[in-house]
Amino acid sequence: MSDISDSSVRFDTVKLEPFGPIGIIGHTANRDFTDKVNKVLSEKRASRVAKGTTPYIHSPGYSRKDYIFDTELVRFQTGEGKFVMGESSRGHDIFIITDVLSHNLTYDLTVGEHTISADDHYRDLIRMVSCCMGKAKRVNVIMPFVYEGRREKLDSHRESYDCAEMLQTLYNLGVSKLIMFDPHDERIANAVPLMDIEMPQCRFKIIQTLLDRFGSVKLDSDSTMVVSPDEMGARRAIRYSSILNLPLGIFYRDRDYSVKVNGDHPIKEFKFLGDDVEGKDILLIDDMINSGSTMARTSRKLKDLGAKDIYCLAPFGLFTDGLKLFDDLAAEGIIKAVLCTNLIYRTEELLQRSWYVDVDMVPYVARIIDAINLDESVYDLINSIDRIEAATKQIRLGELFDEFNE
């Protein structure tokens, strides 16, 4: 190893020791995703040790078959709960993976069955962090979908500002690093300016999956256009448009500011601002699909304007009003496909839909954990511009983006 006291040695070329043995705590609700991350991480590190491509062969806990801690979330019929660890976290580099949107778990209350809510999941996360503090060497939280992250600003001082309070709570508890994917608005980090926050983007894996699955998509300005369904998502669509070198279109909501309905100004008309979409494939970009009404409205409008195939791309697919809306859109030929990641819980019904394509983020999350544990820079992982540009030059991508290639 180079002498790091030598001023001529670049620091980023020096291999650092692991911060500590990795310990992964998976929220009960997303245990399947956590198990897959654990498997990928274990296999890749074991492969390095076998090939002798790592200097950490003798580092305690570097290569293990299972990094997942033995834990249990206990529920009481009063609605209270507790978090229990079956082994010590002392000296470990802990990574808590939580999915606050999982709605696949229930427990019995005194008054009947209760479906665990986002608020319950957040409270469980606090229990997990508190249980590790003072023992673990470092605690990191991976929260793909940010709890209350859609509130990026205060509309009134008579309203709660839950996202800021959540971030400040984690910071005050001593969380070292927070990893959140494609937040609705990155400005939420201003609530905790001294906290180490990483915001990986999903766009590379989404684009890669799109090109792998649909060979007819051509990423050139004559064939394809990027569209934002509203002005609020324009910045996200601009990134896709710039990186892929594709024309950009935006839907603008023309509101009637003379009246208010349910506290908001009604929309008079959706206006499309952009080039002619006649005969072009459309990449309809948003940060999430909630009920799906926005995607449906803009997709129908684009079809009326002569668009060819419409692909709805979003990191998170919530589908809060069910799947019928998209079933109808697909049956009518309005949309070609919907692509969302597996960073949050998806129902079996969704996974079985022919129009839905699951974007696998497991290797990416495993690689981020590996890099953070070694105190490597994760900038190149998070900033996917170079990878997207390289990928779009390939005829077919295959597994170009193997996050663990040495």
Contact 300, 284 (CB under 8 A): no
Query: What pLDDT score does 187 carry?
Result: 87
pLDDT at residue 400, rounded to an integer: 40
Mean pLDDT confidence for 164-177? 95
pLDDT at 397: 40
Tell me the two tokens of residue 262: 């349910």
Q: What is the mean pLDDT of residues 260-286?
A: 83
Given a cut of 70, whether residue 190 has pLDDT beyond it is yes
pLDDT band at 17; cut points 50, 70, 90: confident
DSSP, collapsed to helix, strand or coil, labels residue 173 as helix
Q: By the 8 A CB rule, do 4 and 14 touch?
A: yes
Sign of CA dihedral 237, 238, 239, 240: positive
Question: What is the C-alpha separation between 174 and 224, in angstroms, rounded?
Answer: 46
251 vs 5, which has greater pLDDT?
A: 251
Type of residue found at 210: L
- pLDDT band at residue 369 using 50, 70 and 90 as cut-offs: very high
Say if residue 261's pLDDT is above 70: no
Q: Are 370 and 44 in contact (CB under 8 A)?
A: yes
Cβ atoms of residues 231 and 250 within 8 Å = yes
Encoded amino acid at 217, one letter: V
**pLDDT tens-digit profile of 318-358?**
999 999 999 999 999 999 999 999 999 999 999 999 999 99
Residue with more model confidence, 132 or 377: 132
Query: How many Å apart are CA 328 and CA 296, to the nearest integer?
Result: 10
Report the range out of 29-38, 46-55, 219-228 with the highest average pLDDT. Answer: 219-228
* Secondary structure class of 240 (helix, strand, coil): helix
The residue behind tokens 């060979």 is: 215
Higher pLDDT, residue 134 or 175? 175
What's the pLDDT at 152?
53
Q: Is the pLDDT of residue 1 over 50?
A: no
pLDDT at position 169 over 90:
yes
More confident residue, 384 or 283: 283
| Distance between CA atoms of residues 176 and 139, nearest Å | 6
pLDDT of 401: 43
Residue 155 in this model has a pLDDT that exceeds 70: no
Give the chain's domains with CATH numbers.
Answer: 11-201+363-377 (3.40.50.2020), 203-360 (3.40.50.2020)
Contact by Cβ (8 Å): 163, 125: no
Query: CA of 236: how far to CAs of 58, 107, 141, 186, 383, in Å?
Result: 44, 38, 24, 11, 14
* Residue 380 reports pLDDT greater than 90: no
Per-residue pLDDT reduced to its tens digit, 295-319: 999 999 999 999 999 999 999 999 9
Query: How confident is the prediction for the chain on average, in pLDDT?
Result: 86
Identify the band that residue 105 occupies on the pLDDT scale cut at 50, 70 and 90: confident
Whole-angstrom Cα distance, residue 361 to residue 203? 11
C-alpha distances (whole Å) from 301 to each of 17, 250, 313 are 55, 12, 17
pLDDT, one tens digit per residue, over 58-90 is 888 899 999 999 999 888 888 888 999 999 999
Q: What does the pLDDT look like over 177-188, one tens digit per residue? A: 999 999 988 888
Distance CA 300, CA 293 (A): 11
At residue 178, what is the residue type?
L
Residue burial 331-353, b: 16+ Cβ < 10 Å; e: rest: eeebbbbbbbbbbbbbeeebeeb
